[in-house]
């Protein structure tokens, strides 16, 4: 098996074995604490521009199948694991993790100390890195890496949105109509919305409020996605113009962009929240939900206007996990209620949105 190297922008490096295709890749290195769900993680558009490190030591045991994807391809630009299983043991498996990475031409590395790497990222913060199977000269790699911009200020939505509007499924008569702003929407969000008997039209993130309102929606969904929310100014402007005119529900990047549209500010977290074991407290009910999360930015609480209420907080670091407008039928959450780590602790959010539509 070919050698591989992972070099971080602070100069620390790890030598291991190639797990994917030959070549080089660069991105922001983050860690994910989930024990399972590696296929959903790889295909989540929110990971665009990032190299994902799995903290669980053995990855790939149950293989890959076509039904566990969150988009049409792998979105993460690189993958790091301690050990990749060579055996895919599951009735639904169609290929191994390595075959999947090679098929999608993803550069990946295994056989490194992911505990040490995670500790570096926790202490020093998420940082850019480069994986290579062809260049092992550290000075050369540093030079290449120096040309990669920081995630802060980066708009990555154009790389994951769609070009033209499209229905998610054939429309059914008499069902509420949701327009979903596609900033990198996950497939399971669409599945759960559709299961609640709503018609969904996906529209490009570049669409303005007039174009959206011309579709006569009963509500607007603002999707998850990659990059810095403050850089996606065109979606923020659209949300401002839609405020008070239709019910709105946002998830992850959609939550952050909604907060910005309401006048709040966002900031970059030190190493972000990535994993399926994040405890979130619902301040309206007092219940604690086990959530899946994938974000590197958060809303600054003291910048929220008085007409906005914080509804959920993260119990690990008390960052904002949910907000709602006190006057308009508008709310959002930072975490991923569709990802089912609890497993269904947060599905009520989709029911709440559909109730707003039916009013």
The angle formed by the CA atoms of residues 342, 343 and 345, to the nearest 5 degrees, is 60
Q: Report the distance separating Cα 167 and Cα 182, nearest Å.
A: 12
Distance separating alpha carbons of residues 118 and 16, to the nearest angstrom: 16
> Which region, left, alpha or beta, applies to residue 234 given φ > 0 means left and ψ of -120 to 50 means alpha?
alpha
Residues 256, 260, 264, 265, Cα dihedral to 10°: 70
Query: For this structure, is 318 an active site residue?
Result: no
Cβ(52)–Cβ(27) below 8 Å: no
Whole-angstrom distance, CA of residue 259 vs CA of residue 251 = 11
Which one of the listed residues 255, 273, 312, 336 is annotated catalytic? 336
Is residue 338 flagged as an active site residue? yes
Token representation of residue 178: 């949701």
206: Cβ–Cβ under 8 A, 6 or more apart, which residues? 158, 161, 234
Q: Which of 110, 252, 274, 312 is catalytic?
A: 252
The residue from 28, 110, 187, 338 that is catalytic is: 338
| Residues in CB range of 312: below 8 A, 6 or more apart | 280, 281, 282, 283, 289, 320, 321, 322, 333, 334, 335
336 is catalytic: yes
> Quick one: which of 260, 254, 196 has its CA closest to 224?
254
The residues annotated as belonging to the active site are 252, 336, 338
């Amino acid at each position: 098996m070919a050698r591989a190297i992972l070099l971080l922008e602070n100069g620390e490096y790890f030598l291991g074995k190639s797990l994917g295709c030959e070549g080089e890749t660069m991105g922001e290195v983050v860690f994910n604490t989930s024990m399972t769900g590696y296929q959903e993680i790889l295909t989540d558009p929110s990971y665009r521009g990032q190299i994902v490190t799995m903290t669980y030591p053995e990855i790939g045991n149950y293989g890959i199948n076509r039904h566990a994807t969150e988009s049409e391809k792998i979105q993460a630009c690189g993958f790091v694991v301690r050990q990749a299983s060579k055996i895919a043991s599951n009735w639904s498996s169609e290929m191994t993790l390595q075959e999947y990475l090679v098929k999608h031409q993803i550069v990946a590395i295994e056989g490194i100390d992911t505990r040490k790497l995670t500790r570096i990222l926790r202490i020093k913060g998420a940082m850019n890195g480069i994986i290579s199977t062809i260049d092992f000269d550290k000075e050369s790699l540093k030079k290449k890496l120096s040309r990669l911009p920081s995630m802060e200020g980066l708009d990555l939505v154009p790389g994951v949105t769609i070009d033209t509007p499209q229905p998610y499924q054939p429309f059914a008569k008499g069902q509420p109509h949701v327009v979903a702003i596609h900033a990198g929407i996950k497939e399971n969000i669409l599945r759960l919305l559709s299961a609640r008997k709503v018609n969904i039209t996906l529209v490009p993130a570049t669409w303005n409020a007039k174009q959206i309102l011309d579709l006569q929606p009963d509500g607007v969904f603002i999707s998850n996605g990659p990059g810095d929310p403050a850089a996606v100014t065109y979606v923020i402007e659209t949300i401002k113009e839609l405020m008070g005119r239709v019910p709105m529900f946002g998830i992850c990047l959609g939550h952050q962009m909604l907060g910005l549209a309401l006048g709040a500010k966002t900031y970059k977290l030190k190493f972000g929240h990535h994993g399926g074991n994040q405890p979130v407290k619902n301040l309206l009910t007092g219940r604690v939900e086990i959530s899946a999360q994938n974000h590197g930015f958060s809303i600054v609480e003291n910048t929220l206007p008085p007409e906005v209420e914080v509804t959920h907080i993260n119990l690990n670091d008390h960052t904002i996990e949910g907000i709602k407008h006190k006057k308009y039928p508008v709310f959002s959450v930072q975490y991923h209620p569709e990802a089912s780590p609890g497993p269904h602790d947060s599905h009520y959010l989709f029911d709440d949105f559909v109730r707003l539509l039916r009013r």
